[in-house]
Chain A
Amino acid sequence: MEALYDIPRQFIIGLAETGKIHYTFSYAFVVNGFLCAFVIGPLLGGIGTMVVAKRMAFFSQAVGNAALTGVAIGVIIGESYTAPYLSMFSFCLLFGLVLNFARNRTKMSSDTLIGVFLSISLAIGATALLWVSAKVNTHILDTVMFGSILTVNDTDMNVLLVTALLAAVTALPLYNQMLLASLNPSLAHVRGVRVNLLEYVFVLLLTILTVACVKIVGAVLVEALLLIPAAAARNLNRSIRGFVLWSIVFSTVSCLVGIYAPMRWDLPVPSGGAIILTAAAIFLVSMVVRMLLPRYREASF
């Protein structure tokens, strides 16, 4: 599979070494980050539209923050502290599934329930981190929390590529069904949609994405990249096609700028932070455009 990356990687490095593009691209890890951005951008941008449509922003944020606890548990049980994939995936998955189960079974409002679960998860995470600090320098965990392209290797790229393919194969055929179920579950059921099953599939998707994007965007910030580009695209579009396409564009641009800008101008910002700040800037512009131009204000009552 490495050959798959080597061809574009060597090509881009070659261009940088001959001065055709900026010399920053002569570093393999920068090129790795860029290759990942072209996978993460469309992936999170596309799935993000579903998060916004299903009004699951808080839910996905909670799943993302659960990664913090997953990382701490991973280090305690002896996983690599730069890539504790197994613990992170297991804990996020457990968190998401139990939360979704409780949401379906109780009459409690969704935001209250998510708030309770999130608090429990963070409390466990904080306790576990205290133990972890005795074993390793917790600053090392910053790369997992907030992203760092310096540590992206071929294994991380393999995880990302397989996850992206899995997510695309799952989400594309189910996109309409998930959207319809969010508008009216009864109607979706009559049309043959297995509404409850799809809820769990979506939780699974969010969890896998969180874990796969952790090296580039960081565990804590992945969910922001699911939400912000889609929210910006929503401000400027009236159809689903525009919503999805612009969300993908905003997400991809955020990733590319967030990876490139700190390298190019020596900014002391982790890649995750830079990516989210870029997305936030796009969102702010979209809000201003929406407020100033009447054609974008339709149906905003």
Chain B
Amino acid sequence: MAGPSIEFDGVGLVLGSTTILEQVSFGVAAGSIHCVVGANGGGKTSLIRALLGQMPHTGRITLNWQDNRVIGYVPQTLDFDRSLPVTVLDFMAMATQRRPVFLGMSGKQREQIARRLAELGLADRMHARLGSLSGGERQRVLLAQALIPEPGLLVLDEPATGLDLAGRDILERTITGFARAGGTVVWINHDIVQVGEIADRLTYINRRVLLDGAPREVLASGVAAQLFPTLGLVQRGAA
């Protein structure tokens, strides 16, 4: 499962009269966990959508694919009517098979879905309604669907939002395991402590790239202390 390397080269995006992204250039190494951080409204999600081919942009985004060209995507939220009769299994089938979900699924498909859900601590929630899950459980379901079929590139848009401690551990373990197996991860993440712990590289974006490098070096810089006001508290707490 060798993931791609990615090159963002002078990427720009203007919507109406608002400049969202301006000359954004950085690289994502194959098989690494690359976290994108930044202020709200700084263009992170737009950059991800440009990467996924959903946003017109200037500049160039190059994906140097190897053997696996599948992209797994974990969106920030699902916009749906909570009382809709859709179980977790229904949602997984809907996302991963062509056969209409109300006609059931093959044994092999069901087994694969059950395995993924179990890995993410959701074995007993397979038949629960999607609307009855907690925010953290729903995020783990979204991660589970992104891993079927096995992707080469995993793109996550703030999946840790709403996760409890146990859910956060499962998420980190799954993502680091995925990267260790050769997959590439691009992860929008607000949790700077988590970024410091598991990212191979960090890029801070606020319309432009303000910081880019290994988390240990970047977070030790003076600019980082200004950009992350809570960083000093976190570091003092850790010491």
- Cross-chain contact A179 with B75 (CB below 8 angstroms): no
Contact A243 B85 (CB under 8 A): yes
From 169 to 199 in chain A, residues with beta carbon under 8 angstroms from any chain B beta carbon are 172-173, 175-176, 179-180, 182-184, 186-187, 189-191
Q: Which of B72, B75, B90, B132 contacts A299 (CB 8 A)?
A: B132
Which chain B residue shows the least CB distance to A240? B90
A298 at interface by CB-CB < 8 Å: yes
A186-B54, A190-B52, A299-B129 known; A234 vs B84 contact (CB < 8 Å):
yes
**Pairwise interchain contact B100-A242, C-beta atoms closer than 8 A:** no
Interface of chain A residues 227 through 270 with chain B (CB within 8 A): 233-234, 237-245
Chain A residues within an 8 Å CB radius of B90: 239-241
Which residue of A is nearest B82, CB measured?
A299
A-B contact count (CB 8 A): 92
B91-99, B174-182, B192-200, B213-221 - the one binding chain A: B91-99
Residues from chain A with Cβ under 8 Å of B85 in the complex:
233-234, 237-240, 242-243
B86 lies within 8 A of chain A by Cβ: yes
Q: A237-B85, A300-B83 are in contact. Are A176 and B101 (CB under 8 A)?
A: yes
Kindly state whether residue A55 has any CB partner on chain B within 8 Å: yes
A189 to B52, CA, bound (A): 9
Binding site secondary structure of chain A: helix
A299-B131 CB under 8 A given contacts A234-B83, A241-B102: yes
Does A53 make an interface contact (CB < 8 A)?
yes
Residues of B within 8 A of A233 (CB): 85
Question: Is B124 close to A, CB under 8 A?
Answer: no
Q: A300: which B residues are within 8 A, CB to CB?
A: 83
Q: Do A189 and B54 touch (CB < 8 A)?
A: yes
B97 neighbours in A (Cβ, 8 Å)? 176
A179 touches B73 (CB 8 A): no
Is B49 in the interface zone, CB < 8 Å from A? yes
**Which residues of chain A come closer than 8 Å to B87, judged between CB atoms?**
238-240
List 15 contacting pairs A-B, 8 Å CB cutoff, sorted by A: A52-B84, A173-B100, A176-B98, A176-B100, A183-B79, A184-B79, A186-B52, A190-B52, A190-B73, A238-B127, A240-B90, A241-B101, A241-B102, A241-B104, A299-B129
Residues of A within 8 A of B (CB): 52-53, 55, 172-173, 175-176, 179-180, 182-184, 186-187, 189-191, 233-234, 237-245, 298-301
By Cβ-Cβ distance, the 6 closest A-B pairs, closest first, are A299-B131, A244-B102, A175-B100, A299-B132, A190-B73, A243-B85
